[in-house]
């Protein structure tokens, strides 16, 4: 360990680099290909460089009503993100004490994460169909459906994002020093003040991480949406629909636009986390620096 790096380091470094190339190479290929010239096809070589296909996408001359699907996905993603953050932080706080039904909630979250998405999705669609049938039979014959983006769709997405949120909260509170909070309470803070002014600022970077998971997982969600979203499609569903029919770079352009949103959100979140961490490092603790 004192002398240079062992040979295994170089072997594994190359392995890691190959894995990274494997991860990113294909994605980069389609980002490049979405800038094909107007006569370009689905594969390399590039036939000129243009923004023809991306512009075409925004003109709405493509096969799908991209604008509407885009707005729907964005709306759902933002709502899922907010709900995921609030419910995960609240439940994470609850897990710091023992409470009844603790293990029920824990195992529900784990099960929700690993039960195959198609089953959850099918179950939600059956549930809403049965609710619809009941409403039609007993109250209103002309009732259409209770299924929709913000009912069954939102629920389906939450079954996917909440487990991640909860697990991140576990990770946060595993490292959290409860003495900070106790100190606040000893100084007379109410539980809410202790949370608002002590706990929340400390965990904020990770909470933004939960938001990042909430939005991106919803923005790209497909399997659970497939049966549970109702009559309208989200962007990933439209994209999946295109895979069987399209023969020109439309689909890459759409992929690039969707990814651009993902990368914008990722950079915003990571940037914010970075700034917050820096601020915490710079002036996070004033312990022992006087009583004022």
Partner 1 sequence: MDTSEDILQQAAPGLIPGAGTARAAKPTRLSPSFISWLQAGPMMLVFLAFFLIPLVFVVIVSFWDYNEYQLLPAFSGRGYSDTFEGCIAQLPDLCTIAKTYLKTLKLCFLVWVITLFIGFWVAYFLAFHVKSKTWQMGLSLLCTIPFWTSNVIRMIAWIPLLGRNGLVNSGLVKTGLINHPVEWLLFSEFSVVLALVHLFTFFMVVPIFNSMVRIDKSLIEAAYDAGATGFQTLVNVIIPLTKPGIVIGSIFVITIVMGDFITIGVMGGQQIAAAGKIIETRVNALQFPAAAANAVILLVITFLIITLMSRIVDIKKEL
Query: Is residue 60 within 8 Å of 66, Cβ to Cβ?
Result: yes
Q: Which is nearer to partner 1, 202 or 258 (CB)?
A: 258
Shortest distance in whole angstroms from residue 141 CB to partner 1 = 16
Shortest distance in whole angstroms from residue 61 CB to partner 1 = 20
Q: Which is nearer to partner 1, 50 or 108 (CB)?
A: 108
Q: Which is nearer to partner 1, 142 or 243 (CB)?
A: 243
Shortest distance in whole angstroms from residue 34 CB to partner 1 = 10
Q: Which is nearer to partner 1, 52 or 238 (CB)?
A: 238
Shortest distance in whole angstroms from residue 51 CB to partner 1 = 18
Q: Which is nearer to partner 1, 133 or 144 (CB)?
A: 133
Q: Which is nearer to partner 1, 50 or 112 (CB)?
A: 112
Q: What is the 3-state secondary structure (H, E, C) of the chain?
A: CCCCCCHHHHHHHHHHHHHHHHHHHHHHHHHHHCCECCCCCCCCCCCCECCHHHHHHHHCCCCCCHHHHHHHHHHHHHHHHHHHHHHHHHHHHHCCCCCCCHHHHHHHHHHHHHCCHHHHHHHHHHHHHHHHHHHHHHCCCCCCCCCCHHHHHHHHHHHHHHHHHHHHHHHHHHHCCHHHHHHHHHCCCCHHHHHHHHHHHHHHHHHHHHHHHHHHHHHCCCCCHHHHCCCCCCHHHHHHHHHCCCCCCHHHHHHHHHHHHHHHHHHHHHHHHHHHHHHHHHHCCCCCCCCC
Shortest distance in whole angstroms from residue 192 CB to partner 1 = 11
Q: Which is nearer to partner 1, 231 or 291 (CB)?
A: 291
Shortest distance in whole angstroms from residue 151 CB to partner 1 = 10
Shortest distance in whole angstroms from residue 68 CB to partner 1 = 18
Contacts of 244 (CB under 8 A, 6+ apart): none
Contacts of 203 (CB under 8 A, 6+ apart): 89, 172, 176
Phi, psi (degrees; rounded to nearest 5) at 5? -70, 145
154's tokens: 């939102």
Shortest distance in whole angstroms from residue 235 CB to partner 1 = 9
């Amino acid at each position: 360990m004192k002398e240079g790096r062992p040979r295994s380091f170089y072997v594994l470094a190359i392995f890691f680099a190959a894995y990274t190339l494997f991860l990113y190479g294909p994605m980069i290929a389609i980002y490049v290909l979405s800038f094909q010239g107007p006569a370009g096809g689905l594969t390399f070589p590039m036939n000129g460089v243009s923004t023809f296909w991306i512009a075409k996408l925004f003109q709405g001359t493509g096969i799908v009503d991209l604008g509407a699907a885009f707005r729907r996905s964005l709306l759902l993603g933002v709502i899922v993100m907010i709900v995921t953050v609030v419910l995960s932080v609240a439940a994470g706080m609850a897990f710091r004490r023992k409470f009844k039904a603790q293990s029920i909630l824990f195992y529900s979250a784990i099960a929700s994460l690993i039960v195959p998405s198609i089953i959850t999705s099918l179950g939600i669609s059956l549930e809403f169909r049965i609710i619809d049938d009941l409403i039609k039979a007993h109250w209103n014959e002309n009732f259409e459906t209770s299924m929709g983006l913000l009912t069954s769709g939102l629920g389906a997405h939450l079954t996917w994002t909440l487990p991640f949120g909860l697990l991140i909260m576990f990770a946060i509170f595993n490292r959290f020093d409860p003495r900070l909070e106790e100190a606040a309470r000893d100084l007379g803070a109410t539980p809410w003040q202790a949370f608002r002014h002590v706990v929340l600022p400390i965990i904020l970077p990770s909470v933004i991480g939960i938001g990042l998971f909430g939005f991106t997982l919803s923005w790209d969600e497909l399997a659970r949406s497939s049966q549970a979203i109702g009559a309208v499609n989200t962007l990933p569903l439209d994209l999946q629909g295109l895979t069987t029919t399209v023969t020109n770079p439309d689909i890459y352009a759409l992929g690039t636009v969707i990814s651009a949103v993902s990368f914008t959100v990722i950079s915003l979140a990571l940037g914010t986390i970075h700034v917050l961490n820096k601020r915490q490092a710079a002036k996070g603790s004033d312990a022992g620096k006087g009583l004022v």
